[in-house]
Structure 1
Amino acid sequence: MQREDGTAVATGVTDERLAGLRRWNLGLALLHLLQALLVVLLAGSFSITVTSSVPEGPPGTTAPAPQALFDVPIGWAVAVFLALAAVDHLLTATVCRRVYERDLRRGINRFRWLEYALSATLMVLLIGFYSGITGLNAVIAVIGANVGMILFGWVQEAMNPPGRTRTRMLPFWFGTLAGVMPWVSIAYNVIAAETVPGFVYGIVLVQAALFFSFGLNQWLQYREVGRWADYAYGEKAYLVLSLAAKSLLAWQIFAGSLAG
């Protein structure tokens, strides 16, 4: 399928499918916004403290005990990643609809990657907090690794437009390497800790499975496996995965530490 200017259009991105995606985006905007409001209204005041320990001597000197820097109110942090998704879906269904649909025809969704760079990074930070990763240096490293992973996903789409003669997977694998690193750190803390609340195990296991499913979705798209040969199908899969990951994390955190 080609546009009037002769350039290729991503498989499955028809006017009918775009209209369906608009309805999905409107519905998801409402669902994420309602959940954000509920969390703000119902959540307790639980917070987690970010700490820092700066060396006070030559290399090899024992670092002092970590000192508190600032508190992160968890209820508000959860509401923020839900609200970010709501804004993204609302924009792509309304004022940015033409740009969003034009990009989908080109086999890319810049709005997805920009939103994920913010919301998914905040989600990984929260999962890390509940796993005991609260040092400022580690927090900065997690942010860098996760944002890098998301941007590699954007590059993967940019390097593989519709009508390509071959598919380049190098950005995908670079992104996979960057993205798995925070999860290695999270897994280490959870396994090495003597006592971990059961709901934290649930958060880590469920969210790891969902986060890795985003990568699987992209791999299936670019290997054109089954229904994923249809770019629009992969786009809808991203919408479903995003709703599932954000909603489950929000209410896992709420049930474990914010209720009451």
Structure 2
Amino acid sequence: MAPTTSTPPTAAGVDDASLRGLRHWNLGLTVLHAAQAVAVLVLASDFAITVIASYAQGPPGTALADPESVVDVNVGWAIAAFLTLAAVDHLVTATVGRRRYESDLRRGLNAFRWVEYSFSATIMIVLIAFYNGIVEVSAVFGVIGANVAMILFGWLQELMNPPGRTSTTMLPFWFGCVAGAAPWVAITWNLVAAREDVPGFVFGIFVSLFVFFMSFALNQWLQYREVGRWRSYAFGEKSYLVLSLVAKSALAWQIFAGSLA
């Protein structure tokens, strides 16, 4: 008797119709992100934020040297970068990477999402940190590392919970929450300490983007707790698409209105 092969379970809600719908969403979001990137580049000023460094000049406990400039980050270009990364991601998943994207979705996974977020979301959190006075190069590296770790734990959450599983682990999710909280604690500390000198639009950026970042975590939690419509992996994927567009657009145009116009 010939051995039988079983078909791997497919993620809930991922069928041909939902995949066609997601392709249309990805094509639409390609246009929306790309158009905003171009608009920012055309309209923005040359405003830049300087990343600084203070180096040791003696044994431990010795006063640090005066800060020196490391690099000037053009804010308009940084905004255009995360918008362009999103546009490229959506274009790839709808065209040349479509077969891999759809195959991954059937397995309850989207590697393209996590790769893009590890770059675009990290640029976003670094900009938020800049606007709250976190510009020392060592602190910036810490923000980058913590945020990338958070994104990769999100990827691991999907890898460890394939369709057809008999139990669900939330351990990578909670580890990711711990890693992702670190930049926000640092940003909140600076914001509260300098609250009397911080422009109102910076408070607006902080509150709105904090809500959006937490919404990404909530979306994944709802997926793996299988709450309501989130039992469908396709619905969770569409929610990620919407959140990505709104969060990136909100940060781009709040910064534009506050300091780039």
- For the aligned pair, the TM-score class normalised by the smaller chain equals over 0.9
Matched, 1:88 2:85: no
Give the superposition deviation at 1:63.
1.3
Which stretches of structure 1, 4 residues or longer, exceed 6 Å deviation after superposition? none
Distance in 2 separating the partners of 1:33 and 1:254:
16
Distance in 2 separating the partners of 1:238 and 1:65:
44
Distance in 2 separating the partners of 1:38 and 1:6:
47
Distance in 1 separating the partners of 2:253 and 2:186:
23
What letter corresponds to residue 165 of structure 2 in structure 1?
R
Q: Which residue of 2 aligns with 1:175?
A: 176
Q: Which residue of 1 aligns with 2:112?
A: 111
Q: Which residue of 1 aligns with 2:239?
A: 237
Distance in 2 separating the partners of 1:117 and 1:195:
32
Matched, 1:22 2:29: no
Q: Which residue of 1 aligns with 2:79?
A: 78
Q: Which residue of 2 aligns with 1:255?
A: 257
Give the superposition deviation at 1:66.
1.4
Distance in 1 separating the partners of 2:108 and 2:129:
33
Distance in 2 separating the partners of 1:24 and 1:60:
56
Q: Name whichever of 242-251 and 58-67 sits farther off.
A: 58-67
Matched pairs, number: 256
Give the superposition deviation at 1:65.
2.4
Q: Which residue of 2 aligns with 1:125?
A: 126
What letter corresponds to residue 245 of structure 2 in structure 1?
L
Distance in 2 separating the partners of 1:60 and 1:229:
55
Q: Which residue of 1 aligns with 2:224?
A: 222
Q: Which residue of 1 aligns with 2:7?
A: 6
Tell me the SS of whatever aligns to 1:92: helix
Distance in 2 separating the partners of 1:121 and 1:225:
28
What letter corresponds to residue 171 of structure 1 in structure 2?
P
What letter corresponds to residue 138 of structure 1 in structure 2?
A
Q: Which residue of 2 aligns with 1:33?
A: 34
Q: Which residue of 1 aligns with 2:199?
A: 197
Structure 2 stretches of 5 or more lacking a match? none
Q: TM-score, normalised by structure 1?
A: 0.97
What letter corresponds to residue 45 of structure 2 in structure 1?
G
Q: TM-score, normalised by structure 2?
A: 0.97
Matched, 1:42 2:43: yes
Tell me the SS of whatever aligns to 2:51: strand
Give the superposition deviation at 1:130.
0.3
What letter corresponds to residue 219 of structure 2 in structure 1?
N
Distance in 2 separating the partners of 1:9 and 1:71:
48
Q: Which residue of 2 aligns with 1:210?
A: 212
Give the superposition deviation at 1:68.
1.0
Tell me the SS of whatever aligns to 2:13: coil
Tell me the SS of whatever aligns to 2:79: helix
**TM-superposition CA deviations, 1:195-223 (whole Å, max 9, x none):** 00000000000000000100000000000
Distance in 2 separating the partners of 1:207 and 1:65:
33
**TM-superposition CA deviations, 1:174-205 (whole Å, max 9, x none):** 00000010000000100001400000000000
What letter corresponds to residue 141 of structure 2 in structure 1?
I
**TM-superposition CA deviations, 1:97-151 (whole Å, max 9, x none):** 0000000000000000000000000000000000000000001001100000000
Q: Which residue of 1 aligns with 2:55?
A: 54
Tell me the SS of whatever aligns to 2:125: helix
Tell me the SS of whatever aligns to 1:7: coil
**Identity percentage over the alignment?**
64
